[in-house]
Amino acid sequence: MATEYASGAEYIKHHLTNLTFGQHPDGSWGFAHTREQVDAMGFWAIHVDSMAWAIGLGLVFVGLFGYAARRATEDVPGGFQNAIEQLVEFIDGTVRDSFSHRNRMVAPLALCSFIWIFLMNLMDLVPVDWVPWAFSLIGVHYMKIVPTTDPNVTMGMSLSIFALVLYYSLRRKGIGGFLGELTLHPFSAKNPFLKVLLIPINLFLEGVALLAKPVSHGLRLFGNLYAGEMIFILIALLPLYAQWTLSVPWAIFHVLVILLQAFIFMVLTVVYLNMAHDTGEH
């Protein structure tokens, strides 16, 4: 498939471009047909492929689990039911281990993050050319099917979680407690004058630590999946007879990566929310 493109670089660039709908610089709305148009759109654009695949896979998650939930009884479960319950129990156990407060929202949030991200990551194992090629037949030029290789998607989730972290921090600790946490640690002093002097330093350190959380949370997932996708694309540039020697081992290894990254994202979500709930002064 790679031979259709003028150069390897163009092939890669094509495969890393989202199907974008947005406002052109001249004010009109429409799909971008070239990479330059995408760049020119700026913020007022939306990656239709990322959103569609993300929502589609979210609906798969909701459908499967909703179906299992609707049929959930205390009687002997069937195979499918059992699989879903195993997953729910696994998430429940993980949340119980790392979240020590009472919040009805955290466990469902963790379940939703884990399964949804896993499904989105799973799209990475679909051979890189199949879906874009199929869409090119119906005239769609760009199609990125792995939503988690789009930083907008991963950051959208990590920032939602950051908003929750801020909300629960303020609610549990109050505005004073939260500000105290940001300004009176890690350096503290008995002397009031010294204390005031240390506030900017503490605020800088804690502020960076606070803001680094959502950024690293989202970019870790994005980076891992983007790198994985990139390697698949590079492998696809090899001659056809040689591709499998690299793509098969990488795909097998990638099975671990997609599972692990989904799990890490979920665990960090729970840990951050747990920290937001911690009011005990150290």
Binding region for other proteins (CB under 8 A): 16, 18, 20, 22, 38-39, 41-47, 50-51, 54-55, 58, 61-62, 65-66, 68-70, 72-75, 84-85, 88-89, 92, 104-105, 107-109, 111-113, 116, 147, 150-153, 155-157, 159-160
Q: Do residues 53 and 120 lie in contact, with contact meaning Cβ atoms separated by under 8 Å?
A: yes
Tokens 């660039």 identify what position? Answer: 13
**Is 216 annotated as catalytic?**
yes
Closer Cβ to other proteins, 62 or 257, answer by number: 62
**Is 70 annotated as catalytic?**
no
**Given the residues 202, 224, 247, 274, the one annotated as active site:** 224
H or E element in which residue 211 lies? helix 192-236
Of 260, 279, 56, 113, nearest to 105 by C-alpha is 113
**Is 202 annotated as catalytic?**
no
Q: Do residues 54 and 153 lie in contact, with contact meaning Cβ atoms separated by under 8 Å?
A: yes
Tokens 């700026």 identify what position? Answer: 42
Of 189, 216, 220, nearest to 202 by C-alpha is 189
Question: What gap in Å lies between CA 214 and CA 202, rounded to an integer?
Answer: 19
Closer Cβ to other proteins, 84 or 165, answer by number: 84
- Distance in Å, CB of 109 to other proteins, minimum: 5
- Distance in Å, CB of 81 to other proteins, minimum: 9
- Distance in Å, CB of 186 to other proteins, minimum: 31
Closer Cβ to other proteins, 70 or 282, answer by number: 70
Q: 106 Cβ partners below 8 Å, 6+ apart?
A: 95, 99, 270, 273
- Distance in Å, CB of 131 to other proteins, minimum: 18
- Distance in Å, CB of 112 to other proteins, minimum: 4
Closer Cβ to other proteins, 59 or 197, answer by number: 59
Closer Cβ to other proteins, 160 or 243, answer by number: 160
Q: Do residues 28 and 36 lie in contact, with contact meaning Cβ atoms separated by under 8 Å?
A: no
DSSP 2: G
H or E element in which residue 29 lies? strand 29-31
Annotated catalytic residues are 216, 220, 224
